[in-house]
Amino acid sequence: MKIKTQKLVFIFLLSSIPFLIFSQDGGDERTGQAGASELLINPWSQSSGMASANTASCRGLESSFLNVAGLTGINGTELMFSHASWFADISVNAFGFGQKVGDTGSMSLAIMSLDFGDIERTTNDNPDGGIGTFSPQFMNIALSYAKKFTYNMSAGLTVKMISESAAELSANGVALDAGVHYETGRRGEAKFGITLKNIGPRMQFNGDGDDVTVNGLNGYDMTMEIRSSSFELPSLLQIGGSYDFYLMNDSFRFTCSETFVSNSFSKDQFLTGLEMSWKEMVSLRGGYTYESGIFDDYDSGRTSAFTGFSAGFSIELPISDDTNFGLDYSYRPANPFQAVHSFGARVIL
């Protein structure tokens, strides 16, 4: 079993090398050429407070977004809900359900949706609107499974269904995530994680919304279809490590996390996260996302609305012998948009 596990890790790392080289060579130059950017939004309050740097240390249901191999940290049943106030009055809502399967497996179902509200309809003849509204609907559904192969190593796979619709146009697609998690040490304090995300075929919008009616000859109207171009998914590779320090008779845990993100269609990033936890009941977090130009002003070089910093906290209390309830919060400042506030709740059975 140990030899098979080592082979699995080696094959995964070997298959990631061409992806990493390709991403570094063309990611920045291809910025803006991918679609389905909602796949890059971290909807969960815990990990977003650490700038999503805990690719290696994330365990439980939130791993379905960061590194699916971490799902093996689910020991029973886990329910989670999160709400974030995104830019331009957009709301991001997420719900997840995780369940331990057998002695070494775990699976989860996670749903994330974006609420854009009602948008005024406009046309060439009615540029000021007054002809009704429409409400875009973006939704991702992720079904994940992870298995612990040895005490130290686990791996997992996620299948994501992508749905986007707006004003009689829609696009649907599918994507895959794969991740590996490895830990070592007396208490598993040293951790390593690697994950490939958003690997899938191109998507394209179709529907009646791309039809245009023009005046033809002899008073006859003609309807033409303006076909939209297909687009690729924002695929990426994440490699991360973390280390846990235990202080004061193990009452305090201090975790340092670092993750490198190699994006195919945007700048590469270095994510740094810190977490301090008291008896796993009260946790404080902070993080920073570094990419080229992050220290510049938005109008002179910075290409991200986020300014890099993030912070958050969690409170988790036992409500019975085998049930815990937790509340999570994260804060991500942005400019020129408003800061993003995320709120979450967890039930662990």
Q: What is the structure's pLDDT at 218?
A: 67
Classify residue 51 as left (phi > 0), alpha (psi -120 to 50) or beta: left
Residues 298 and 335 sit within 8 Å (Cβ to Cβ)? yes
Q: What is the structure's pLDDT at 101?
A: 95
Instruction: Return the CATH number of the domain spanning residue range 2-348.
Output: 2.40.160.40
Residues 202 and 232 sit within 8 Å (Cβ to Cβ)? yes
Residues 149 and 8 sit within 8 Å (Cβ to Cβ)? yes
Strand extents, DSSP E, 32-168: 77-85, 91-101, 105-115, 119-120, 133-134, 137-148, 153-166
Cα gap 191→344, rounded to integer Å: 25
Q: 156-179 burial string, b = 16+ CB within 10 Å, else e?
A: bebebebebbbeebebebebbbbb
**DSSP-based three-state secondary structure for 336:** coil
CA atoms within 13 A on the CB side of 299: 2
> Tokens in use for 66?
């960061």
Q: What is the structure's pLDDT at 284?
A: 97
> Tokens in use for 89?
């009055």
Q: What is the structure's pLDDT at 244?
A: 95
- Following CA atoms 88, 287, 23, 206 in sequence, which dihedral angle do they give, to the nearest 10 degrees? -20
> Tokens in use for 100?
């331990």
Polymer length of the chain: 349
> Tokens in use for 287?
């993080």
Three-point CA angle 61, 63, 65, nearest 5°: 105
**DSSP-based three-state secondary structure for 244:** strand
Cα gap 13→190, rounded to integer Å: 19
How many of the other CB atoms lie within 10 Å of CB of 37?
13
Which among 50, 102, 41 has a CA at the least distance from the CA of 71? 102
CA atoms within 13 A on the CB side of 305: 11
In the chain, where the domains are located: 2-348
Provide the residue-wise pLDDT of the chain in tens; the chain has 349 residues: 444 555 555 445 444 544 444 444 445 666 667 888 999 999 999 999 999 999 999 999 999 999 999 999 999 999 999 999 888 888 999 999 999 999 999 999 999 999 988 888 887 777 777 778 888 889 999 999 999 999 899 999 999 999 999 878 889 999 999 999 999 988 889 999 999 999 999 998 888 776 666 666 666 677 766 777 888 999 999 999 999 999 998 899 999 999 999 998 888 999 999 999 999 999 999 999 999 888 888 777 788 889 999 999 999 999 988 899 999 999 999 988 899 999 999 999 9
Cα gap 214→341, rounded to integer Å: 46
